[in-house]
Amino acid sequence: MRNIEHSADVSWHFAHLAAQSEYEHLSADAVAAARNSLLDTVGVCLAGSGLEPAARGAIEVVHESGGRPEASVLGFGGRVPAMMAAFANGTLAHVLDYDDLTPWGQHAGSSVIPAVLAVAERRGKVSGRELITALAVGQDIFARLRRNIVWRKDWNPGPVLGVFAAAAGACRILEMPEGRIQNALGIATQESCGLAEVVGGLGGDFRGMYAGFSAKGAVLATLLADKGVTCVDSPFEGTHGVFNNYFPGGYDRETILADVGHDYQGGTTLYKRWPAVGTSHSHAQATIEIMKEEGLSVEDIRQIRVYVGDYHSLMCTPLETRRAPQTLIDARFSLPFIVATAAVRQGLSIWDFTDTGLQDSRVLDVARRVQPIEDRELDWKLELPHGRVEVITYDGRSFTRIGTQVPGSIEAPMIWDDLVEKFRECAPAAIRRPSPAQVDSVIGMIQELESMDDATEFLRVLD
């Protein structure tokens, strides 16, 4: 790719990346990550449509809004304007907290994929290689931003950053010139937001829907820029730009831009095997290992001590409420409930986070025995820290594990076959259950995405 003035605002570099990227530029890892995330996100959306009642209100609003039938709503079916399809599918992608994430936390796919798919359907006849390229651009931008900003945990960086990654990918689908893509990134600043209180606070069922807003905002910004609406030259690095407003602690510009256009960092993407907040998984893994390796039953447990850093503490406060969550969203963000479920089930599945699961007396009984212990060494800095768990039995024994080799982590990543298994678990949970033949067809199409003349054909299989 040709060079761009290095001193230009980061938005110009990202616009250049989106405009100039081609399938042939991508590494094998970046191609695999785009394909893997597509399958994973579609499966999670299907499961979310059937398992999270809160999503149904959002989909009703989408369908009631009417408009041109441009793009598909996963799970529920029907076609709506691209912006509203992105909102619907972005909402479904994160409601189970089962979507992909970076090694440093936060979720790219639930913003990027719904936006890119919606614009691809609106345009029509987008090839598999074009779709992969657009997804790889979005994943790359999200990873570059997430790993190189100083996050004080005051904003939710998923939607704050996701709208830009999603807009860049959507612009790539429309083959927009870099000037218009830069305008789209500037316009997207008005859709870049996300209060941390909505993530860490208790009550309500809205928390899981935030990716719908970043996906919708990305499509809106893309379409406005495509119509010729312009924006400022320095939306990221200006005095009152994105970096100075959201991340005044700093950002590493040189690393954000290092090898941009050559090193597509979507290959770092990880995939969850368990449908709960990622910062709980190592504690769950440690608990499962203790229960299995020591041959313990829940009746043996007097106390489970979970050692927690700053972010883990959010999942334990206030403790009594976290031990008995009242909503499905709160359950997926409750460390006592997640650890108790892991102890009782010796695993975690989508079926553990249902209304029936919230009322399971054995899980609630064990949750009352979960005690958080502060350990500042486990504060979340960049990489997600490994959790530590100690199980104390009634007969005085004590067993301690650090949760490593977590399924879906850097140490034990999920590969294509694992994601196919996850997709087969998720698809039957959809509100409109696809047939086995439909499931097989979608898996086959996405596996052979590079050869598809129309990459969105799989969506019509599901409709």
Give me the CATH number covering residue 393.
Answer: 3.30.1330.120
The pLDDT, as a whole number, for residue 249 is 78
How many angstroms separate the CA atoms of 205 and 96, rounded? 11
How many independent structural domains does the chain possess?
A: 2
Yes or no: say if 316 and 372 are a contact pair by the CB < 8 Å rule: yes
How many angstroms separate the CA atoms of 51 and 49, rounded? 6
In DSSP terms, which residues pair with 391 in a beta bridge? 304, 399
pTM over 0.85: yes
> Are residues 175 and 251 part of one domain?
yes
Residue 341: φ, ψ to 5° = -60, -45
418: in domain: no
| Domain extent for 21 | 10-271+423-462
Yes or no: say if 142 and 103 are a contact pair by the CB < 8 Å rule: no
> Are residues 449 and 332 part of one domain?
no
pLDDT digits (tens, 9 = 90+) for 29-55: 999 999 999 999 999 999 999 999 989
Yes or no: say if 348 and 275 are a contact pair by the CB < 8 Å rule: yes
At 143, the pLDDT band (50, 70, 90 cuts) reads very high
Q: Is the pLDDT of residue 377 over 70?
A: yes
Q: Count of CB atoms within 10 A of residue 462's CB?
A: 21
417: in domain: no
> Are residues 136 and 95 part of one domain?
yes
Torsion of CA 330, 335, 336, 340, to 10 degrees: 100
> Are residues 259 and 190 part of one domain?
yes
> Are residues 67 and 94 part of one domain?
yes
How many angstroms separate the CA atoms of 288 and 344, rounded? 9
User: Kind and range of the H or E element at 116?
Assistant: helix 109-123
Average pLDDT value for residue range 6-30: 97
> Are residues 428 and 391 part of one domain?
no
> Are residues 173 and 24 part of one domain?
yes
359: in domain: yes
246: in domain: yes
416: in domain: no
> Are residues 185 and 294 part of one domain?
no
339: in domain: yes
pLDDT digits (tens, 9 = 90+) for 174-192: 999 999 999 999 999 999 9
The pLDDT, as a whole number, for residue 153 is 84
How many angstroms separate the CA atoms of 166 and 139, rounded? 8
How many angstroms separate the CA atoms of 136 and 34, rounded? 6
pLDDT digits (tens, 9 = 90+) for 59-80: 999 999 999 999 999 999 999 9
Nearest to 442 by CA among 461, 419, 425, 421: 461
Average pLDDT value for residue range 155-161: 94
User: How are strands ordered across the β-sheet holding 301-308?
Assistant: 370-374, 301-308, 388-393, 398-402
The pLDDT, as a whole number, for residue 3 is 67
At 141, the pLDDT band (50, 70, 90 cuts) reads very high
Nearest to 71 by CA among 63, 81, 60: 81
Q: Is the pLDDT of residue 306 over 50?
A: yes
Yes or no: say if 18 and 181 are a contact pair by the CB < 8 Å rule: yes
Yes or no: say if 138 and 169 are a contact pair by the CB < 8 Å rule: yes
Q: Is the pLDDT of residue 2 over 80?
A: no
> Are residues 293 and 249 part of one domain?
no
The pLDDT, as a whole number, for residue 9 is 97
At 205, the pLDDT band (50, 70, 90 cuts) reads confident
The pLDDT, as a whole number, for residue 1 is 46
Average pLDDT value for residue range 443-450: 98
Q: What is the DSSP string of 54-77?
A: HHHHHHHHHHHH-----EE-TTT-
> Are residues 266 and 176 part of one domain?
yes
Q: Is the pLDDT of residue 169 over 70?
A: yes
> Are residues 201 and 91 part of one domain?
yes
Q: What is the mean pLDDT of the chain?
A: 96
Task: Let me know if 450 is exposed, middle or buried by CB neighbors in 10 A (0-12, 13-18, 19+).
Answer: middle
CATH of the domain at 96: 1.10.4100.10
Yes or no: say if 404 and 285 are a contact pair by the CB < 8 Å rule: yes
72: in domain: yes
> For 230-234, 307-311, 380-384, 427-431, which range has the lowest pLDDT when averaged over its residues?
380-384
For the chain, percent of residues with pLDDT exceeding 70? 99
Yes or no: say if 312 and 375 are a contact pair by the CB < 8 Å rule: no
- ∠ CA 345-387-276, nearest 5°, is 50
How many angstroms separate the CA atoms of 298 and 345, rounded? 10
> Are residues 300 and 193 part of one domain?
no
What residue type is 71 in one-letter code? A
| E strand segments, 343-408 | 370-374, 388-393, 398-402
pLDDT digits (tens, 9 = 90+) for 249-281: 799 999 999 999 999 999 999 999 999 999 999
User: Which ranges of 174-209 would DSSP assign to H, the alpha helix?
Assistant: 178-187, 196-200
95: in domain: yes
